[in-house]
Amino acid sequence: MLSIRPATPADVPTILRFIHELATYEREPDAVVATEADLLRDGWGPTPRFTALIADFDGEAAGFALYFTSYSTWRGHHGIRLEDLYVTPALRGKGIGKALLAKLAAIAVEQGCPRLEWDVLEWNAPAIAVYEAIGANILTEWRIMRLSEESLKILARLVS
């Protein structure tokens, strides 16, 4: 039996385990520096920065979706930005990822959001196939830009 529910602070250890498993799947096993304290602060602290859903399958946590709001200046409305979607390997192929996406779509529609967006690695063919099957479009004209670490600090110093 599959159920999707809002994550609670008690789910933080499971969410962090899933984040580590996702990083390994995405070929970056040593990249995670997040801690349980970080997730508690940013998910359930005084200024929540994200929301998460947990997929339970036969009473066991099977996956999660972590998301936050974005804003479209062109549409004049917020949207939902999916940061991570993960289903534990032993339970893939049971519709859990699709159910998490469907729940996020329902939340977006309920909130009047014009869109739900996320990124996918170009080599992740199984995920891309699922996303295309549910009607998602790959936006090939856009590229992700990122400043981090030292580059971020160097640019920030220009504000003096």
Provide the annotated active-site residues. 131
d(CA 153, CA 155): 5
- The answer to whether 102 and 139 have CB atoms below 8 angstroms apart is no
Reading the block at residue 119, the tokens are 């990124």
Q: What are phi and psi of 84, to 5 degrees?
A: -140, 140
For tokens 């998490």, what's the residue?
100
Q: Could you write out the DSSP letters of every residue in 38-69?
A: HHHHHHHSSS---EEEEEEETTEEEEEEEEEE
Rounded CA separation 114/68 (Å): 14
**CA-closest candidate to residue 105, choices 79, 127, 86, 83:** 79
